[in-house]
Structure 1
Amino acid sequence: MVVTVSVRETRRSTRALALLGIVVALAVVVLLSIALGSNRLSLTEVLHALFAYDGSYSDTVVRDTRLPRTVLGIVVGMALGLAGALMQSVTRNPIADPGILGINHGAAVAIVFASAVFGVTAPGHLVWFAFVGSIVATALVYAIGGGRGANSPMRLALAGVALQAAFVGINQAMQVIDTHALDKMRFWLVGSLADRDLSTLTGLIPFFVAGVVIALLLGRSLNAIALGDDTAHGLGANPAVVRVISILAVGLLCGAATAACGPIAFVGLMVPHLVRLVAGQDERWVLGLSVLAAPVVLLGCDVLGRLLASPAELQVGIVTDVVGGLVFVFLIRRLRTVRP
């Protein structure tokens, strides 16, 4: 009994320290995101622009360019981190990620189609197409990767890679047919936080909020279905309903994130694994810490892209592909006992 209490107290202390560390890391990376760029600003200039704005050049750079980009990175990071944690939990697949399984690219296809064919450009309108595209992509992944191997991480990953390649090809075909769409979508399709303003989020906030709230409320139910469907029923959870609601939440989060800044992969893969190292398997903590840790990773990659290519910059989607690709290879090597 004493040992059990000691273990619980140790785990609580670890989680509390992890929460504090993530909050501090988020504050640091937010300041770096605002300060670093083609024109580097000091901490004093950043704080002056945030709390004592007087219209100077540095204040204008912070308020009009850097701050909207940082806020967008926080919101999109939260969405991608939660979507990845939800997918890994509900599918029991350690390499599930909206980018790897082609869900973000499914949303991107719907957005490019809406823009090229119907002339839709407002993010608040595009998000509806993105939501439908992400849901359709999720259904296709499970249809192609289903059957007797439906629970195989490798099989689902291969289905996602195949779909992602198909979606990329469709996007490229639409862009070649419509050169105007090509010029307009070039940077957006690689995943970018650049050249965005807060008006981008205006029509997307309800989708982000709904997705985040639904995801966080599913924590207890996800803990139940992790014990098996029969046990989950005994604990009062309906596994089928939980999975459907989870898919809808993933669609909301991925659709809004993709509409805001394009398809960004691997954030939803990396963050839940890092969080589980300190939080354990309690999905309430995994989801809660992922929503804070994912913006740290996304903004960190965005800052890294600015530093590596200064005075130009690498788009954040390129940096997350490189960093996340290395993490993906590491995870695949750990799955040696899993048959495709």
Structure 2
Amino acid sequence: MTHTLPAPTLVNRYRWRVYRCAGLLALVMLASLLLGAGDTGPWRALSTLLGQGSSEERFVLFQLRWPRTLLGLLVGAALGAAGIVLQATTRNPLAEPGMLGVSAGASLAVVIAVALGASSATVNLGVAVAGALVGCALVLLVSRVGSLGDDPVRLVLAGAAFSSLLAALTSLILLHDQRSADEIRFWVIGALAGRSGDTLLWSLPGVIGGLLLLLPAIRPLASLALGERVAAGLGHHPQLTRLWALVAVAILVGTATAAAGPIGFVGLIVPFMARRLVGPDIRRTLLPALLLGPCVLISADIISRLTVRPYELPIGVITAFIGAPILIAVVRGQRMPRL
């Protein structure tokens, strides 16, 4: 008599997929340590990890590649989680921090702070968070006029227009203040390289704080996906939930922008991958997003190092090449998925 094995439960399938995401992240982080634009190749880097290698190779590995890998881990997790939450809040699969004014608002706030005398290396995290919150709130406020928020494409168009306006204001300030332009040029293009160890120290509490603030809103956001009336019937407050979630998004994106500069499309790519992997429920997609975000960002950073060796491309160029086709695919889909 033959016995058939029971089909794996949904919980086991979910755990297995999360484990796969974690394994992929470990491989990507290892690749980030082994690959680079300099003379320290994979085999030399691997021998250095095993305790050998010269002092120069140890410096490259532990003082240059390791900090930017950790920064990619933090920034990628923040942008991935922010993208998932922003899409759940707006019930719009095209919502992304770079398209809804969040990153542009944070960038403008940082540039204004530098123009007023602050240093870009020690810019106050609160400045970037406040700018992100104001930028996102203004876009959502404008989108509510004429019920634009009910149309995913129109909401993105409104966000893109507003983000362009904020970017133009940022460029205008830099054109009229040469000191600010020189101070912030390395930051405004978005990159993981060239950041000091202090960047990791002050960005870690921002990312952890944003994620902790986000946790109480996960269940209400999952109910909100069923509609405001259903969420209210279950005892939740839709407006308060949205406000709470947007504050958490502002902290996450503001921290990421202050640490690595404005990096677009990560908040679009990661939710798209997470939903394909585990479904649309935010209670299931958040954890994969926290793992896939660093995978996408660190992979883009590796590509940026290897494409034009010995130089590096801006990481935002790589994420745009990956994210733009996904954006087009979602827009041109025969049925726009509602979250």
> TM-score when scaled to structure 1?
0.91
Which residue pairs with 1:108 in the alignment? 107
Q: Determine if the alignment matches structure 1 residue 36 to structure 2 residue 35.
A: yes
Deviation at 1:53, TM superposition (A): 7.7
Deviation at 1:131, TM superposition (A): 0.9
Percentage of matched positions with identical amino acids = 35
| Cα pair 2:190 2:263 within 8 Å, conserved | yes
Which residue pairs with 1:303 in the alignment? 302
Deviation at 1:264, TM superposition (A): 0.6
Question: Gapped runs of 5+ residues in structure 2?
Answer: none
Q: Distance in 1 between matches of 2:102 and 2:334?
A: 22
Which residue pairs with 1:145 in the alignment? 143
Deviation at 1:54, TM superposition (A): 8.1
| Cα pair 2:106 2:127 within 8 Å, conserved | yes
Deviation at 1:40, TM superposition (A): 5.2
Q: Distance in 2 between matches of 1:323 and 1:266?
A: 8
| Cα pair 1:107 1:131 within 8 Å, conserved | yes
Which residue pairs with 2:219 in the alignment? 220
Which residue pairs with 1:3 in the alignment? none
Tell me the amino acid that sits aligned with residue 225 of structure 1.
L
TM alignment of 1:198-217, pairs within 5 A: 198-217=197-216
Deviation readout 1:99-136 (Å, 9 max, x if unpaired): 1112101100000110012324344x431111111111
Which residue pairs with 2:93 in the alignment? 94
Tell me the amino acid that sits aligned with residue 308 of structure 2.
A
| Cα pair 2:120 2:183 within 8 Å, conserved | no
SS at structure 2 position matched to 1:203: helix
Deviation at 1:186, TM superposition (A): 2.1
Which residue pairs with 2:321 in the alignment? 322
Which residue pairs with 1:131 in the alignment? 129
Deviation readout 1:189-229 (Å, 9 max, x if unpaired): 12111111321122222211111122244322211111122
Which residue pairs with 1:276 in the alignment? 275
| Cα pair 1:208 1:256 within 8 Å, conserved | yes
Deviation at 1:11, TM superposition (A): 3.0
Cα RMSD (Å) of the superposition? 2.2
| Cα pair 1:38 1:310 within 8 Å, conserved | yes
Deviation at 1:51, TM superposition (A): 6.4
Deviation at 1:29, TM superposition (A): 0.9
Q: 1:34 to 1:234 in 2, by over 3 A?
A: same
Q: 1:9 to 1:91 in 2, by over 3 A?
A: farther
Which residue pairs with 2:25 in the alignment? 26
Deviation at 1:172, TM superposition (A): 1.1
Q: 1:305 to 1:26 in 2, by over 3 A?
A: same
| Cα pair 1:193 1:315 within 8 Å, conserved | no
Which residue pairs with 2:176 in the alignment? 177
Q: Distance in 1 between matches of 2:213 and 2:6?
A: 30
Q: Distance in 1 between matches of 2:89 and 2:52?
A: 46
Q: Distance in 2 between matches of 1:328 and 1:297?
A: 16
Tell me the amino acid that sits aligned with residue 242 of structure 1.
T
Deviation at 1:335, TM superposition (A): 6.2
Deviation at 1:320, TM superposition (A): 0.8
SS at structure 2 position matched to 1:73: helix
Q: Distance in 1 between matches of 2:323 and 2:185?
A: 22
Deviation at 1:337, TM superposition (A): 6.4
Tell me the amino acid that sits aligned with residue 138 of structure 1.
C
Deviation at 1:52, TM superposition (A): 3.8
Segments of 4+ in structure 1 off by > 6 A? 335-338
Q: Distance in 2 between matches of 1:63 and 1:98?
A: 31
Deviation at 1:13, TM superposition (A): 3.5
| Cα pair 1:72 1:198 within 8 Å, conserved | no
Q: Distance in 2 between matches of 1:335 and 1:214?
A: 36
Q: Determine if the alignment matches structure 1 residue 164 to structure 2 residue 152.
A: no
Which residue pairs with 1:313 in the alignment? 312
SS at structure 2 position matched to 1:218: helix
Which residue pairs with 1:79 in the alignment? 78
Q: Distance in 1 between matches of 2:40 and 2:24?
A: 19
Question: Gapped runs of 5+ residues in structure 1?
Answer: 1-5
Which residue pairs with 1:264 in the alignment? 263
Q: Distance in 2 between matches of 1:136 and 1:78?
A: 22
> Alignment length, in residue pairs?
332
| Cα pair 2:73 2:294 within 8 Å, conserved | yes
Deviation at 1:305, TM superposition (A): 1.2
